[in-house]
Structure 1
Amino acid sequence: MTKAELLALTPADFDFENQTVTNSKSYQRLKGRDVVTSPKTKKSNRVIKMPQFLSEEMEDCMKLFYSLKPTDRLFPVTKHYLCHEMDRGCKAAGVKRIRIHDLRHSHVSLLIDRGFTALAIGERVGHESEKITYRYAHLFPSRQTEMAECLNFERTGIEAEENTSDGGKEVCQ
């Protein structure tokens, strides 16, 4: 997600049973006021399959809030504050400064390295491309699950198994 998409998230956007998060809005701070609008492009409106570890961590995180309403913003901070904290964390850890948006690039790079198509990745991250959108109207739903399972493997080392056509098992790698 972009910073603006992340900062607009509410508990109502999460479906922990299906391990998805719906991206349907964007946050901005305009003239000292918090403003939540629709995302900047049509492709930004999407349902993202989360890896199991992230779904569990977000569910646990929300349980820590006192009287959290379904429409409350989960991260009630500004983009400036988020970037400042990232800079502070990088400095404290003694690592080269990276931007919040660089995490998005790293996510895309990892998925490319894992062999996912540009089309599948573009749908996952909400990239707007008239050429691809015009030529291809949909993706196979299993690709979202496969991406989430592979990200889960990257984080936890726990391999997901898939049934193959010959009745055997195939490991997601």
Structure 2
Amino acid sequence: MSEVKLHRYFDDWMNLYKKDAVREVTYRKYEMTYRQIILLAPELRMCDLSRLTYQKLLNDYAETHERQTVMDFHRHIKSSLIDALEEGIIERDPTRKAIIKGKKSGKHKTKFLNQHEVQLLLDHLSLDEGVNWDYFILLITKTGLRFSEALALTPTDFDFARQTLNINKTWDYKSQEAGFAPTKNLSSMRKIQLDWQTVIQFSQLTKGLADDKPIFIRSKIYNDTVNHYLERLCKRADIPVISVHGLRHTHASLLLYAGVSIASVARRLGHSNMNTTQQTYLHIIQELENQDNDKVMKHLASLI
């Protein structure tokens, strides 16, 4: 087997298979995995890889990271080692039956708001001052768009006659030279139905704006800037503080509670498959299933 060190193989692998094949933000995550391998196992060679040495690497990483982060770390390395196995660089898959651990999750922000809290938030928006972050927050709440998708919107993306919004690009706000970028995946390219109030509001808002220019971009944008603004709005409305991404979760949860199918919610969010939707909103789905079971039992009990 190869005497090459694991971090060296992983570096070569990600440059060969991932560079320019995945989005820049995704590639940076592979680079983070590479740096962590150097930090935790600088001398670990491919020929020394076994289930024991690999599990130790995962356990060392898990001491300072939460379980989901450890899972991502594991997936990156596993992908490279599967290729190494196929190429004959290693003889066995050391990642087989790996146990994913992680430190206890810290206190997280509220993931989504209930309908009453959403209404309180919307009541505190200022929607009579032209383009502002209040309109941005309103739109994500009503559509469930990703942050980068909402930033990329131009007036031509709105079809007011058909009451739809066309999602076909994102705004690469994380790079130095920010600009339009592809969507996260093919499923993210979609048309979203809009309610009539949103149609009226944005048909007025976009009048006179350049058709091919982002509506909300005026200068360099940072996710934290909008999150801090939303935090102030939440405090003013006396509701739990939520992030912009939390508004996307809020949109999905309200639809699920309203009885919208998982398949429809998945398409609206631009998920590549329903499994993602089911995993993300498992607690809500289980709650709704319990309510359905109660309805089923009451119905069956009424049959005499």
CA RMSD of aligned residues (A): 1.9
1:7·1:78 contact (CA, 8 Å) conserved in 2? no
Q: How does 1:71-90 map to 2 (within 5 A)?
A: 71-76=212-217, 77-90=221-234
**Which secondary structure state, in structure 1, belongs to the residue aligned with residue 172 of structure 2?**
strand
Instruction: Give, in angstroms, the shift of residue 44 of structure 1.
Output: 0.4
Distance verdict in 2 for CA 1:30–1:110, change over 3 Å: closer
User: Could you tell me the percent identity over the aligned residues?
Assistant: 29
Counterpart of 2:170 in structure 1 is: 26
Q: Distance in 2 between matches of 1:84 and 1:33?
A: 23
Q: Distance in 1 between matches of 2:242 and 2:275?
A: 31
Counterpart of 2:255 in structure 1 is: 111
Of the structure 1 ranges 110-119 and 17-26, higher mean CA displacement relative to structure 2 is found in 110-119
Of the structure 1 ranges 30-39 and 68-77, higher mean CA displacement relative to structure 2 is found in 30-39
2:262·2:274 contact (CA, 8 Å) conserved in 1? no
Q: Distance in 1 between matches of 2:274 and 2:250?
A: 24
Matched, 1:102 2:210: no
Matched, 1:68 2:212: no
Which structure has the higher relative contact order (CA within 8 Å, separation 6+)? Answer: 1
Partner amino acid, structure 1, of 2:232: R
Q: Distance in 1 between matches of 2:264 and 2:215?
A: 27
Instruction: Give, in angstroms, the shift of residue 125 of structure 1.
Output: 1.1
Q: Which runs of 5+ in 1 are unaligned?
A: 133-173
Counterpart of 1:16 in structure 2 is: 160
Q: Distance in 1 between matches of 2:211 and 2:241?
A: 34
Q: Distance in 2 between matches of 1:108 and 1:127?
A: 11
Q: Give the paired residue count.
A: 129
**Which secondary structure state, in structure 2, belongs to the residue aligned with residue 88 of structure 1?**
helix
Instruction: Give, in angstroms, the shift of residue 94 of structure 1.
Output: 3.5
Partner amino acid, structure 1, of 2:205: C
Instruction: Give, in angstroms, the shift of residue 33 of structure 1.
Output: 2.4
Q: Distance in 2 between matches of 1:7 and 1:68?
A: 15
Higher strand share: 1
Q: Distance in 1 between matches of 2:188 and 2:154?
A: 16
Counterpart of 1:125 in structure 2 is: 269
Q: Distance in 1 between matches of 2:255 and 2:274?
A: 22
Counterpart of 1:3 in structure 2 is: 147
Larger radius of gyration: 2
Counterpart of 1:165 in structure 2 is: none
1:4·1:27 contact (CA, 8 Å) conserved in 2? yes
CA-to-partner distance for each residue in 1:152-171, whole Å, 9 max, x for gaps? xxxxxxxxxxxxxxxxxxxx
Instruction: Give, in angstroms, the shift of residue 130 of structure 1.
Output: 7.5
Matched, 1:37 2:181: yes
Instruction: Give, in angstroms, the shift of residue 92 of structure 1.
Output: 3.3
Q: Distance in 2 between matches of 1:31 and 1:105?
A: 25
**Which secondary structure state, in structure 2, belongs to the residue aligned with residue 34 of structure 1?**
coil
Q: Distance in 1 between matches of 2:246 and 2:274?
A: 24
Instruction: Give, in angstroms, the shift of residue 102 of structure 1.
Output: 1.2
Distance verdict in 2 for CA 1:114–1:31, change over 3 Å: closer
Partner amino acid, structure 2, of 1:8: A
Distance verdict in 2 for CA 1:121–1:33, change over 3 Å: same
1:19·1:55 contact (CA, 8 Å) conserved in 2? yes
**Which secondary structure state, in structure 2, belongs to the residue aligned with residue 21 of structure 1?**
strand
Higher helix share: 2
Partner amino acid, structure 1, of 2:215: L
Counterpart of 1:139 in structure 2 is: none
TM-score between both structures, scaled by the size of structure 1: 0.68
